[in-house]
Structure 1
Amino acid sequence: MEQVIRVLTTIRPKRSLFLSVMVTLATIGFFWYLSATHAPGDNWGAKALFPTLFVLTIALISRAPFESLLAGVIAGLIMINNTSVVSPLSDTLSAVMSNETIIWIVLVCGLMGGLIVLLERSGCLGSFSDWLKGKIRSRRQSLLTTFFIGLVVFIDDYLNCLAVSSSVKKVTDHYNVSREKLAYIIDSTAAPMCILVPVSTWAVFFSGLLEENHLAPDGGGLSVYISAIPFMVYGWIALLLVFLVALGVVGNVGPMKKAEARAMAGKPVPDDYDGNSMEAAPSSNRKQTSSFVGMMNFLLPMVILVASTVYYEVDLLRGVIVTLAITVALYYVQGLLTLEEQFKGIFEGFKVMLYPLSTVIAGFMLKSINDQLGMTQYLVEVVSPLMSAELMPAMVFLVMAAVVFGTASSWGSFIIAIPIVVPIALGVDANMALVIGALLSASSFGSHACFFSDSTVLAAQGAGCSPMSHALTQLPYTAIGAAVSFGIFMVLGYTM
């Protein structure tokens, strides 16, 4: 019997390897065939969807977002040019890495990671968590506290995902809240909250985009943006839904049931998490301080971070640079950490953020491929004959939500889509504030729900679970929010 088991255990890996090789070769052959049968200069049409659909399929099977994105990028490159992959892949990567937005994201996330490591190793984060434990008396209170802190940190979704999770993680662990539910609450108060506040990085970006596309006069983009806030339906619905979840009115749905049952059994961290998180043990050489001083040493950098970000016209990069400089000086003067320990901690923060950042970069590469294939234009053009003044808000939300969900490009897709959507909206005399609200709602939904969006991977990283565990457990809630939003846009389209 032992010999039979031994033989089977050697056969199964070989079968698995053989199957993987065959599937890989078949996939390459399929995309090569698409390229070989495509006439140069013709539109790709529905075929432009295939790389993104391939990414989503692989992500669901492998539960590895970066690897799935990379596979989709390679598949798309084969479609575009089946005679060369290495050079186009190198060129795409170089173009993405030279993009100002990517450089900004890498620096912000890396420096934010370094700041959180400093807060951990100085013991100040632990002091704040201990203070919260003394104030919070129940599991429900820990969830509601997470929700309300998320509302306060509205400047940027990256700041929300990383700072809020670090603040409350030990408290929610104490009350056996699953890391997946923590990630869901954090993610739901990130992009959905940011679009509803005119003092946020989202408002700054989209206000400028409205001016560029002549939807607002120069300097008037923010006013037009503010007029559309009441119609950013998905943001309002997502916040209401997550509040009801934290309150306990809406129960655990789908995969969240299993995650919460595991957490209630004393295991808040999911099994598929590799432990590569922001958590760091306090330095053994640090100077001991009172709990009050420790708490203030945590709160002061957070206040400086928000204040300096607002001061520099909602630029989180400048805000985190100022905060790090003051925090390093503050901790050094107090003897909490040496300069060497602090700079090592900052580099450690960059190291921890490498996988989330690689996923974001791969997402930008997929967007570049989709732009070349014309995916966004195809989807908008397919539904444009259906767009009347009444249906347009709902259709814009539906199509752009699908685009952002499939590509993780919550900002970039709209640079392409708005010049297409706006003339159609003007042609059918649609309510422009409602259309803008639908566009922002779609962007917020895609950032919130996509398996490999920056918001998803950062919320998972901060909470301490894998991106796919977070994405799949929150998917039923985001789907409910999207369905309700679509219905409301239908009603508003016919009544306004």
Structure 2
Amino acid sequence: MQKKWIWLLGLLVLFTPELAFAAETEASLAAQLGWMTLIPPALAIVLAFITKNVVVSLFIGVYAGTIIVSMAGGENILLALVSGFTGFVQLALNSLADPWNAGIILQVLTIGGLIGLITKMGGARAVAESLTKYAKGPVSTQVITWVMGLLVFFDDYANSLIVGPIMRPVSDKMRISRERLAFVVDATAAPVAGIALVSTWVGYEIGLINDAYASIGQDVNAYGVFLDTIPYRFYNILMLFFVLVTSVSLREFGTMYHAQIRSRDEGKVIADDSQPMVDNDADEEPHAEGTIWNALVPIGALIVFSLSGFYTNGRDALLGSGDARLVGLVENAPFSFETIREAFGASDASIVLFQAALVASLIALVMGVAQKIFTVADGIDYWINGMKSLLITGAILLLAWSLSGVMTQLGTADYMVSLLSGSMPPLLLPTVIFLFGAVISFATGTSYGTMGILMPLAIPLAAALEPGNAEFVVMSAGAVLTGAIFGDHSSPISDTTILSSMGAGSNHIDHVRTQLPYAIAVASVSIVFGYIPSALGLNVWISLLVGLLAIVALVWILGKKVDPTEKIKQL
């Protein structure tokens, strides 16, 4: 099988010059290359599923992209192989040099160190034992995980990195597969942050809405439009409801059903041939019994300093923006809801979360030393060992960002958007926008990039197809925002999906493989019972209610009940 893929890659590389670069043209690279701009993400995604080695798959995808870029510049195959490798190195360096990306890497590693300290202090075990009093079965365990995901609404990264590690020991005890835990964590990360009234997403989404309306000469209350789009975020809302329904009913289907059966019958929360994202060596026995406060205080500090950091960092950004309205807002009403919302949206979440994780780590270190659980030197060693367990996560994120970089060079997203050209029946526009958002975000692994590409197209197009129909424009804007969430939630190269696998301790490809059927099922319900009826004129709240009922019917028709604790009860 692997030889066939090597031959296929070789043929693509060898024949690309004649197919794509025979004639010089002033057209954009996306127009020049056409479908070949899809080769890097397609290779990465397909190979990841076949080989189950996401690092190798991402490397091949990035390297294939840099080779194509080199050949587009007129180089022959031999020179392209060399310059393609140097291009890969440059992409990796540029990705790591980006302040946002560097902040995410530091945040991930630091939270890994924090988890290592909490584990050594017995905090993780104490939390697990405490939650066991309430999480007495698989239903309550998953519902508690779902509720925690809703509570950590302010940022999808923080959600994935906090909820997974806390619930993992309890979930394992209930024989809930790591794939299922990763799904619950992932489904309450981006889908929640994307519609939260205050989050690290809001500012970006509002900015896109405001600019798109400005392009058609309309001055609107962008936040008001954002609120109006929430009922049209069918995928976000229905996915959250889907998680709750499947958790309460214990009904599963597709590949998730088989994962749950394996965990129930064999007691294996991870498949034998799968490598979890988190090194099992990090889950060493604690040095002390510890109390629940050994976990709650550091994690509480992480949350408190994150929230305060979002405000202070964003406030400084607003004061330095030069926007008189925003500066006046901060100075005259520093703690109003509007100020807090604007500050959260303007903050640099990656830096804030790194700073908060570092402070929380210092607090955990002081607590451990004060309780004589370990010395300062030993505590630092435990912190570094905790970081080591997440090095693979950092490597995958770096490669995913490099893949995004080479796709930007190739114009992959531009090519995909160009397929939207031509006449479009108004009835189908919201559905088509949602589908393109889903496909682009899945292929590129970025929701922000997808929103930035489609929003400037969707709002003018909707306004042109349905003049005077403000609700139709809002519906189309909602389709952009929720379609972009699909890829952020389900793509194997999405950073949120990667972090959810890490937080839950699941194998990354196993997480994607079991989650994807659920994501596609909910997306289908969103179209059939959401966007199409709403575009026909059905009230959005009725469409949403019908969609919720359709989710219940879907779970009961396709799903089969799997009680993970059934074997435990028989022992």
TM over 0.5, yes or no?
A: yes
151-160 or 330-339, larger mean C-alpha shift: 330-339
Distance 1:20 1:231, change over 3 A: closer
Separation in 1, partners of 2:398, 2:219: 32
2:270 aligns with 269
Q: Secondary structure at the match of 1:411?
A: helix
Q: Residues 444 and 268 from structure 1, CA distance in 2 versus in 1: closer, same or farther, beyond 3 angstroms?
A: same
Distance in 1 between residues matched to 2:3 and 2:36, nearest whole Å? 28
- Local SS of the residue matching 1:383: coil
Instruction: After TM superposition, give the deviation of residue 132 of structure 1 in Å.
Output: 1.4
Q: Amino acid of the residue matched to residue 130 of structure 1? A: E
Measure, in 2, the Cα distance between the counterparts of 1:219 and 1:91.
Answer: 42
Residue-by-residue CA offset, 1:207-254 (whole Å, 9 max, x unaligned): 3444555669999654443332222111101101111111126x2211
535, 539, 542: which is aligned to 1:493?
Answer: 535
How far apart are residue 339 of structure 1 and its match?
Answer: 2.0
* TM-score scaled by length of structure 1: 0.88
Aligned counterparts, 1:424-435, within 5 A:
424-428=461-465, 429=467, 431-435=472-476
Q: Give the match for residue 39 of structure 2.
A: 50
Q: What secondary structure is seen at the aligned counterpart in 1 of 2:422?
A: helix
Equivalent position of 2:549 in the other structure: none
Which residue is 2:523 aligned to? 482
1:204 Cα offset (Å): 3.5
Distance 1:229 1:332, change over 3 A: farther
Mapped contact 1:155–1:306 kept (Cα < 8 A): no
Deviation digits for residues 373-428 of structure 1, max 9, x if unmatched?
22222222222424454432221111011011111122223333333434333433
Q: Is the 8 A contact 2:276 2:508 kept in 1?
A: no
Aligned partner (choices 71, 76, 97) of residue 60 of structure 2: 71
Q: Secondary structure at the match of 1:385?
A: coil
Aligned mates of 1:420, 1:23 — CA distance in 2: 36
Alpha-carbon distance in 2 for matches of 1:372, 1:325: 41
Q: How many residues align?
A: 475
Distance, in Å, in 1 between the alignment partners of 2:369 and 2:41 is 48
Residue 242 of structure 1: aligned partner: 243
Name the residue aligned to 1:134. Answer: 133
Equivalence for 1:9: none
Output the CA distance in 2 between the equivalents of 1:176 and 1:344. 32
Give the conservation status (yes or no) of the 8 Å contact 2:213–2:459.
no
Partner of 1:257: 257
Higher mean C-alpha displacement, 344-353 vs 21-30:
21-30
Q: Structure 1 residues 317, 230: CA separation in 2 closer, same or farther (over 3 Å shift)? A: farther
Aligned-partner residue type, residue 330 of structure 1: M
Give the match for residue 69 of structure 2. 80
Render the CA deviation track for 1:241-296: whole Å, top value 9, x for unaligned: 111111126x2211112211110121112223225516534566x4554xxxx112
Instruction: Report SS of the residue matched to 1:81.
Output: helix
What per-residue deviation string (whole Å, max 9, x for no partner) do you get for residues 7-32 of structure 1?
Answer: xxxxxxxxx77656544433432445
* Offset at residue 56 of structure 1 (A): 2.3
CA distance in 2, matches of 1:303, 1:176: 28
Structure 2 partner of 1:367: 404
Residue pair 1:34, 1:79 contacting (<8 A) in 2 also: no
Q: 1:338 to 1:412 in 2, by over 3 A?
A: farther
Q: In the alignment, what sits opposite 2:122?
A: 123
Query: What is the DSSP-based 3-state SS (H/G/I as helix, E as strand, rest coil) of the residue aligned with 1:230?
Result: helix
Alignment of 1:219-238 (within 5 A): 221-238=222-239
Change beyond 3 A, Cα 1:443–1:130: same
User: Which amino acid letter does the alignment assign opposite residue 68 of structure 1?
Assistant: S
Number of the residue aligned with 2:319: none
Counterpart among 373, 383, 392 of residue 355 in structure 1:
392
Matches of 2:407 and 2:187 in 1, distance apart? Answer: 27
CA distance 1:206–1:326, change in 2 (3 Å) = farther
1:311 maps to 308
CA–CA distance in structure 2, aligned partners of residues 237 and 190 of structure 1: 14
2:11 is aligned to: 26
Q: Secondary structure at the match of 1:200?
A: coil
Distance 2:378 2:225 in 1: 47
Residue of 334, 349, 367 corresponding to 1:330:
367
**Corresponding letter in the other structure for 2:164:** S
Is the alpha carbon distance of 1:164 and 1:282 closer, same or farther for their aligned partners in structure 2, counting shifts above 3 Å?
Answer: same
C-alpha spacing 1:237/1:18, structure 2 compared with 1 (3 Å): closer
The one-letter code of the counterpart of 1:385 is G
* Residue in structure 1 matched with residue 482 of structure 2 by the alignment: 441
1:181, distance to aligned residue in structure 2 (A): 0.9
Judging changes above 3 Å, is the alpha-carbon distance between structure 1 residues 298 and 223 closer, same or farther for their aligned structure 2 residues?
farther
Shift of 1:119: 1.2
394-403 vs 451-460, which deviates more? 451-460
CA deviation digits over 1:348-373, x for unaligned, max 9? 23322222222222222222222222
Conservation of the 8 A alpha-carbon contact between 1:139 and 1:177: yes
Q: Percent identity over the alignment?
A: 26
After TM superposition, give the deviation of residue 101 of structure 1 in Å: 2.1
The residue number in structure 2 matching 1:41 is 26
Cα distance in structure 1, aligned partners of 2:39 and 2:155: 32
Kept in 1: contact 2:187–2:240 (CA 8 A): yes
Q: Does 1:405 align with 2:442?
A: yes
**Conserved 8 A contact 1:31-1:75:** no
1:296-343 per-residue CA deviation (whole Å, 9 max, x = no partner) reads 221222222222212122542333233223332233222233222332
Contact 2:277 2:501 in 1 (8 A): no
Q: TM-score, normalised by structure 2?
A: 0.77
**Matches of 1:18 and 1:394, distance apart in 2:** 40
Q: 1:103 to 1:248 in 2, by over 3 A?
A: same
Query: What amino acid is the match of 2:531?
Result: F
1:272–1:458 Cα change, 3 Å:
farther
1:204 partnered with 2:189? no
Tell whether 2:480 aligns with 1:472.
Answer: no
For the structure 1 residues 39 and 331, does the alpha-carbon distance in structure 2 shift closer, same or farther, using more than 3 Å as the test?
same
2:47 counterpart SS class: helix
Structure 2: 5+ residue runs without aligned partners? 76-82, 311-343, 540-571
Whether the 8 Å CA contact 1:364–1:409 is kept in 2: the answer is no
Q: Taking structure 1 as reference, are residues 288 and 185 closer, same or farther at Cα in structure 2, changes over 3 Å only?
A: closer
Of 204-213 and 68-77, the range deviating more from structure 2: 204-213
Whole-angstrom distance in 1 between the partners of 2:228 and 2:434: 18
Which whole-Å CA distance do the structure 2 matches of 1:329 and 1:432 have between them? 54
SS at match of 1:335: coil
In the superposition, relative to structure 1, how do residues 450 and 25 fare at CA in structure 2: closer, same or farther (>3 Å)? same
Give the letter aligned to residue 361 of structure 2. Answer: L
Q: Give me the CA root mean square deviation.
A: 2.6
Partner of 1:184: 183
| Cα contact 2:458–2:480 (8 A) shared by 1 | no
Alignment of 1:149-160 (within 5 A): 149-160=148-159
Amino acid at match of 1:232: R
Change in 2 beyond 3 A, CA 1:326/1:451: same
Using a 3 Å threshold, how does the CA distance of structure 1 residues 410 and 333 change in structure 2: closer, same or farther? same
The one-letter code matched in structure 2 to 1:264 is R
d(CA) in 2 for partners of 1:119, 1:257:
33
Amino acid at match of 1:131: S
